[in-house]
Chain A
């Protein structure tokens, strides 16, 4: 398990559209940091969101937007696990195109983010979980200030080598389910090496988010990003 530090925040200002994209929230306070979580189906995006909520909910005001593909399963899992009160979790439908809803046409997700902000008032972090997609999924800068890409060792240890925008450009790459590596014959060292080759200075975490303490490096990364976001120019 390792975590490179990225201390810069080059894209902290969200550009473009509409009224909600400006960094200022209502009342001059900075709006919540929006973190997108993408990755293939079954890699552990929802488990990561759940673990992040458990790790951070005492110290931060958090809300979640899920982008379920077909059902409300992800939102309902989070509700069932009671990681956050129900009013802090919203589900968005994406019409069979999960990547469109986080990249090309972010309307519905922005609306969900705005509504959470309006209803809950002060929020520190909004986690936006994309529907399970492929290796090309990335979040628009109009929607997310930073993005986490979650893959897992059971999906094949060649995924970091294959690259794609999710692997190469995400602000944090989480290689999840390291506890399964011996059972599926995954070479963790190769995965870490390939990830570093693809990502340069961008950080990568190898962990198992469901294991005790497994979420800590991801939660620490969120804390860093939030500190940079809060300190940044409005």
Chain B
């Protein structure tokens, strides 16, 4: 047990490239679906219970020691949009670099060798948590927090939202994050026996579609 490492890993300042990504918030802002604190909260709740849950399940399974290459396939199967697969692998590659510097570990080296162009970010996150001495539930918490922390920061920049109001959105969703993380960690306990099919496979079709739209937009601040 090494709880402080979770704070290091989940810190938005952890240098793993996340600051340039909005988790779909920029496209939602452009389309007018996110325009204030209330619509940001709705966006985050939806993202948390879909993309966040899936990422948390993968991260928890990787932290539990399940084969990361099998989880790679499971992540592909759960990531329909090519733009999101690309983003996930890029962020995974960047996280891998930071994690290997922070928590040197043979398992991370092996994944970097097997996937030189990048592994899916939640898989890397879970493996990094494992190398940092964290539990599957810790990894799930990091993934859930990250799934909405990025969009909230992006919305502050894009909409000039009051940063206190925006942070209150995260605080209000904390019980939801706990619930989603627990559900993901639960599923990860079954993965050794039942295989990756035990992991959550929720989808967010609108995030998939808008990720593709965003990827071909010329003028944008965020990479995704």
Contact = CB atoms under 8 A, between A and B. Distances in A.
B37 to A, nearest CB: 19
Contacts, number: 75
Interface stretch (B19-27, B45-53, B129-137): B19-27
Nearest to A115: B117
Contact of A18 (B101, B218, B222): B101
B190 interface: no
B17 A105 contact: yes
Given A16-B101, A70-B220, A93-B220, A106 B15 contact: yes
B172 interface: no
Interface stretch (A6-14, A51-59, A94-102): A94-102
B147 to A, nearest CB: 16
Contacts of A100: 19
A95 B154 contact: yes
A18 B100 contact: yes
Contacts of B144: none
A199 B136 CA distance: 51
A107 B154 CA distance: 18
Contacts of B16: 105, 107
A69 B19 CA distance: 13
Contacts of B157: 95-97
A17 B220 CA distance: 29
A69 B112 CA distance: 30
B221 A96 contact: yes
B80 interface: no
A94 B158 CA distance: 13
Nearest to B15: A105
A119 interface: no
Nearest to B217: A71
B222 A95 contact: yes
Given A17-B98, A18-B100, A95-B154, A108 B17 contact: yes
A92 B18 CA distance: 13
Interface of A: 16-19, 69-72, 92-97, 100-101, 104-108, 110-111
Nearest to B94: A107
Contacts of A69: 221
Contacts of A96: 154, 157-158, 221-222
Nearest to A106: B15
Interface in B187-224: 218-223
B101 A71 contact: no
B80 to A, nearest CB: 23
B120 interface: no
Interface string B1-23: 00000000000010111111110
Given A18-B100, A95-B154, A108 B15 contact: no
Contacts of A111: 17, 90, 93-94, 97
B22 A95 contact: yes
Interface string B77-118: 000000000000010011001101100000000001000000
Most buried by B among A72, A105, A106, A107: A107
A105 B19 CA distance: 8
Contacts of A107: 15-17, 94, 97-98
19 contacts: A16-B101, A17-B98, A18-B98, A18-B100, A71-B219, A93-B220, A93-B221, A93-B223, A94-B19, A95-B221, A96-B158, A101-B19, A104-B13, A105-B13, A105-B19, A106-B15, A107-B15, A107-B97, A108-B20
Given A95-B22, A104-B19, A106-B15, 13 more contacts: A16-B101, A17-B98, A69-B221, A70-B220, A92-B20, A93-B220, A95-B20, A95-B21, A96-B222, A97-B20, A104-B15, A107-B98, A108-B17
A166 to B, nearest CB: 20
Contacts of A18: 97-98, 100-101
